[in-house]
Structure 1
Amino acid sequence: MDRDGVMLPAKSGEFIAKHAKHVKINKDGNEKLCKEILSSIKYNQLQMPDTGSDSIHPSKDHPRAVDWVFVTDALNFCFWSKNKEKQWVVDGYTGYFALEAALNRAIKNSVDITNPEFYSKITKEQLLNIMKGDTDVIIPLFDQRISVLHEIGNILLEKYNGTFETCVKEANKSAIKLLEIVVDNFPCFRDEAMYNGRAVSFYKRAQILVADLWNFFNGTSWGQFEDVDKLTMFADYRVPQVLVYFGVMSYSDELMNKLKNDELLESGSDEEIEIRGCSIHAVELLKKRIEDEIKEKHLNVSVPSSSLIDYYLWCYRRKHAKEVESIPYHKTLGIFY
């Protein structure tokens, strides 16, 4: 898959890491994290994470489950706040889980939020009501979320019989084919940039959409993909933070000072691109190192996919938040992550 000369995320990550000036990938940190993950694999801890969120999303048997995953991941971006007292919170949940809680509440209240006939025309007042939090704080980038819902809703109605299931069927059990369908037809998932004269991609939300379907349906039914291991990690805010925490990546003094001072990084800036691209390549190198260790030591375990490593690191950050918060994470306003 190539989109008009745009490099796929894995190739993009390798290219960005080769030319990066603000971010460096470190072999010693790679070895340290490799040992950590191998230890977790031995104790069967490197599994799909139990997030404790089963109560805030519908079951896989729900008639609109596929469309629920699609809508949720279409809106899955930019939940952070500079001021923790002004975080968007729903039923005690923050971040992505607050989104799940809000959408699940809407379904329970008979709001047709998984139906593009409804959300392609959703009004500001309707979305404000759906996303109402525990305080008066409004979900970040509210106007962009309305635009995203209008965009994806109209495209589903025009091209895909009003359901994301049509896209999944067209992919014919290929994660990469579904990724291609999504980024080619839904502009809000087209997570691309120019770097050092080349068009690069990250496709964080599009890839996590595919991986979430795989996870949600336990690799069966609508989540059966024969090439899910071809996905990369999902370049966001938090996983790079964990990679720096383990020493897998390091930042230049200039970049680290910006992050410590809570300066926003502009979307598409070299620094932001390098953090995301180097994260992708670092996880690809990490996966290769784990694979080599498994072969060398004849371990009776499977090589984890990049997406599974991503889930593990994301959950590690949540479990060890106090320690990991010693590393500042980058902040960028935008719809791509």
Structure 2
Amino acid sequence: MVRNGFLSPAESGKFINTRAQHVRIHEDGLEKLCKEMFSSLKDNKLQIPDAGADTIHPNKDHPQAVDWIFVTDSLNFCFWSQSKETQWIVNGYTGYFALEAALHRALKEGYDITNPEYYSKLTEEQLSHILRGDTSAKIPLFNERISVLHEVGSILINKYEGTFLNCVKESNKSALKLLEIVVNNFPCFRDEAMYKDQGVSFYKRAQILVADLWNFFDGTRWGEFRDIDKMTMFADYRVPQVLVYFGVMSYSNELMEKLKKDHILPSGSEEEIEIRGCSIHAVELLKHNLQELITSTGLSVEVPNSSLIDYYLWCYRRKHAKEMEAIPYHKTLGIFY
């Protein structure tokens, strides 16, 4: 548990799954995806599908590398658009990669985008220039992004001497401790909801922030966390699409019709909560099944944690984007994913 009154993401996923009315998890789908992932185990680790784009970021020795990751994940939400004509694109990149491209461009152009003293006071005009796209299409929820930068920047200045590195140091190499620090001190990361009179949590952006540090630094230095395996998947709108594609999850006829018609699901609605919660639980089950399969074969292979499974599925979706078009994904306007 990270915050009083709210179940942890893993506990939330289990709680939601046992009560869900619009989403179901299927054992045969879990088995199918488990075999697919097992076939991707090579050289003692899970091979991530080529997503067709490389991440764009400073190198590991950059003095502001940790703060770069923090700023990027503070803004890592809501990239979907209603049509390709309104899609935000930066240097040919879309979605999260477009955000990285925009921030990397800002650094090269001399904007102090990793410094909270700068971004906590950004004007609309300044941020609009930094996040300018290849076309007239703008990044979704622009005003919310300004508010997020002002909020997290002010908190870093007032509580952490102007750098997220001090939060990482305070966590003492514990992923769960860092998650707790982020959620308790930065309100915009409090990805929580009420479901069946119970407080549940997902903490998508907070967990991916921890996992990004771990991945960026290869589990060393500022990315060394002894309990990184305690993180769950990052409940967004794309990974559930892959889970439905493989038959791991299915939606009620009513919910599927809404998604096909591009209805926007309100943040905190029962259907949205069930999609996200069941996705978390499905990946926890998938991890368990994969561990059992690896053990039964007697192979000496590292069991991927939920963060790696999430990244595998996210990249699988990008690599097989055309096949995925037949599966509608849910759309929700909000800052949590």
**TM-score normalised to structure 2 length:** 0.98
1:1-337 aligned within 5 A: 1-42=1-42, 46-47=46-47, 56-337=56-337
Tell me which amino acid in the other structure corresponds to 2:173.
K
In structure 1, C-alpha distance between the alignment counterparts of 2:52 and 2:263, rounded to whole Å: 33
Render the CA deviation track for 1:172-202: whole Å, top value 9, x for unaligned. 1111100000000000000000000100000
The answer as to whether partners of 1:20 and 1:274 remain within 8 angstroms in 2 is yes
**Greater Cα shift, 44-53 or 285-294:** 44-53
The answer as to whether partners of 1:48 and 1:215 remain within 8 angstroms in 2 is no
Render the CA deviation track for 1:136-173: whole Å, top value 9, x for unaligned. 11110000000000000000000001000000000011
Q: Return closer, same or farther for 1:115/1:191 CA change in 2, 3 Å cut-off.
A: same
Q: Return closer, same or farther for 1:53/1:165 CA change in 2, 3 Å cut-off.
A: farther
Aligned-pair Cα RMSD in Å = 1.3
Tell me which amino acid in the other structure corresponds to 1:252.
S
Tell me which amino acid in the other structure corresponds to 2:161.
N
The answer as to whether partners of 1:208 and 1:234 remain within 8 angstroms in 2 is yes
SS of the residue corresponding to residue 133 of structure 1 reads coil
Q: Return closer, same or farther for 1:55/1:250 CA change in 2, 3 Å cut-off.
A: closer
In structure 1, C-alpha distance between the alignment counterparts of 2:201 and 2:247, rounded to whole Å: 24
Query: Aligned-pair distance for 1:108?
Result: 0.3
The answer as to whether partners of 1:47 and 1:308 remain within 8 angstroms in 2 is no
In structure 2, C-alpha distance between the alignment counterparts of 1:238 and 1:193, rounded to whole Å: 20
Q: Return closer, same or farther for 1:45/1:173 CA change in 2, 3 Å cut-off.
A: closer
Query: Aligned-pair distance for 1:47?
Result: 3.8
In structure 2, C-alpha distance between the alignment counterparts of 1:174 and 1:303, rounded to whole Å: 20
The answer as to whether partners of 2:216 and 2:223 remain within 8 angstroms in 1 is yes
Query: Aligned-pair distance for 1:324?
Result: 1.4
Query: Aligned-pair distance for 1:299?
Result: 1.6
**Greater Cα shift, 80-89 or 160-169:** 80-89
Tell me which amino acid in the other structure corresponds to 2:23.
V
In structure 2, C-alpha distance between the alignment counterparts of 1:2 and 1:91, rounded to whole Å: 38
The answer as to whether partners of 1:13 and 1:281 remain within 8 angstroms in 2 is yes
The answer as to whether partners of 1:176 and 1:227 remain within 8 angstroms in 2 is yes
Tell me which amino acid in the other structure corresponds to 1:198.
Q
Report the number of matched residues: 337
Q: Return closer, same or farther for 1:327/1:49 CA change in 2, 3 Å cut-off.
A: closer
Q: Which 5+ residue runs of structure 2 have no aligned equivalent?
A: none
In structure 2, C-alpha distance between the alignment counterparts of 1:24 and 1:299, rounded to whole Å: 32
Q: Return closer, same or farther for 1:104/1:49 CA change in 2, 3 Å cut-off.
A: farther
SS of the residue corresponding to residue 39 of structure 2 reads helix
Render the CA deviation track for 1:93-115: whole Å, top value 9, x for unaligned. 00000000000000001100000
Query: Aligned-pair distance for 1:302?
Result: 1.1
In structure 2, C-alpha distance between the alignment counterparts of 1:336 and 1:38, rounded to whole Å: 31
Query: Aligned-pair distance for 1:296?
Result: 1.7
In structure 2, C-alpha distance between the alignment counterparts of 1:258 and 1:43, rounded to whole Å: 43
Q: Return closer, same or farther for 1:253/1:319 CA change in 2, 3 Å cut-off.
A: same
SS of the residue corresponding to residue 129 of structure 1 reads helix
The answer as to whether partners of 1:5 and 1:199 remain within 8 angstroms in 2 is yes
The answer as to whether partners of 1:73 and 1:205 remain within 8 angstroms in 2 is yes
The answer as to whether partners of 2:189 and 2:206 remain within 8 angstroms in 1 is yes
In structure 2, C-alpha distance between the alignment counterparts of 1:193 and 1:80, rounded to whole Å: 22
Identical counterparts, % of pairs: 73
In structure 2, C-alpha distance between the alignment counterparts of 1:95 and 1:159, rounded to whole Å: 31
In structure 2, C-alpha distance between the alignment counterparts of 1:50 and 1:323, rounded to whole Å: 15
The answer as to whether partners of 2:32 and 2:246 remain within 8 angstroms in 1 is yes
Query: Aligned-pair distance for 1:42?
Result: 4.0
Query: Aligned-pair distance for 1:50?
Result: 6.0
Q: Return closer, same or farther for 1:182/1:15 CA change in 2, 3 Å cut-off.
A: same
